[in-house]
Structure 1
């Protein structure tokens, strides 16, 4: 199998499990449309590609730093989740008649999910193990195609998820969206508290 196809399968598999990123993407899609939801998904896909690049290119110094500082990076990620839970609970409900406001937030949404995904440095350990199992040399062109495939596979998953969720957007009344915001905030709060517990225990 070609390295890029392996990467696509790997990227899709890594992105598919529902976690805090999935919650954010679903909420953004229902609240502000498919493009905003996909912007969030691309942030996660970019972070996967970054960690995939570090593992595939054998950047051992970067890997060692991330692993040594994993506790503090995880704490940062947990605090960021708690902050997002608060912001989500307080977030106003946007409507179709305010596209200019949403457009200004595309890069902010992208950056939020990029940062949140990067604050899970142990993901790189998984990439190292998987890439080693594929027996692809770090200096070869195959590693670059594999990383590209990871990004594409992750982006495909987010596009698939956003397309399905977006089809329900027109059914969402303001009351339902307020309920979804509260539920999303509670889920993000749970992920943040669990991450802190796991880090210190």
Structure 2
């Protein structure tokens, strides 16, 4: 029982290590949450999580490593991601004053987060490093126990449970604050735009270096 619990907890911590750090996906989730409601933010989070599920399947098939070892393909993907970030940053700033008191789901937010996630080089790198714990449990130790002795299925379940926890709580916290201070919607929108522009520049620089343009 203890080993099973540790498997779930360790998997959840891996999930949070991917979902919680500040970045373009959380910028999109924040913008959707504050300006369009909790369900919109949650939908954006689901978009990012769907990309992680896809990366998990590709990692199992060995294709994530193939993408990482194919500089031209990786450079093109990263470049597309950079351009998308500029486009979404423009949308965030343009809609900064369109705070909505509603709480509707947003297909656009799902699509934005998914598109950014599948073109995110850091996401690919995560799956080649920390994510290896899901593919090779014997390579990671936690709480004095080897993952080899744990239930791999429970670890994977814990991983996605950790992501679900984040994309549930993070939008709710932002939405609660937004309801108290309407001006937060505009601030989050502008802040999300800045974050997306910053990562857009970083992505395009990465793409240019990979493709030998810079």
Q: TM-score scaled by structure 1?
A: 0.80
Equivalent of residue 51 in structure 1, options 46, 51, 55: 55
Q: 1: CA distance between counterparts of 2:126 and 2:187?
A: 36
Equivalent of residue 178 in structure 1, options 182, 186, 208: 186
Structure 2 residue runs without a partner (length 5+): 140-150, 210-214
Q: 1: CA distance between counterparts of 2:119 and 2:112?
A: 11
Question: Which residue in the other structure is 1:139 paired with?
Answer: none
> Are 1:156 and 2:165 an aligned pair?
yes
CA contact (8 A) 1:67 1:122 kept: no
Per-residue displacement from partner, 1:128-170 (whole Å, max 9, x unpaired)? 444266328xxxxx55544333222111112121221121112
- State the Cα RMSD in Å: 2.6
Structure 1 residue runs without a partner (length 5+): 137-141
Question: Which residue in the other structure is 2:14 paired with?
Answer: 10
CA contact (8 A) 2:68 2:74 kept: yes
Q: 2: CA distance between counterparts of 1:43 and 1:170?
A: 24
Q: 1: CA distance between counterparts of 2:205 and 2:64?
A: 26
Q: 1: CA distance between counterparts of 2:93 and 2:187?
A: 10
Q: TM-score scaled by structure 2?
A: 0.75
Where 1:168 maps in the other structure, the secondary structure is helix
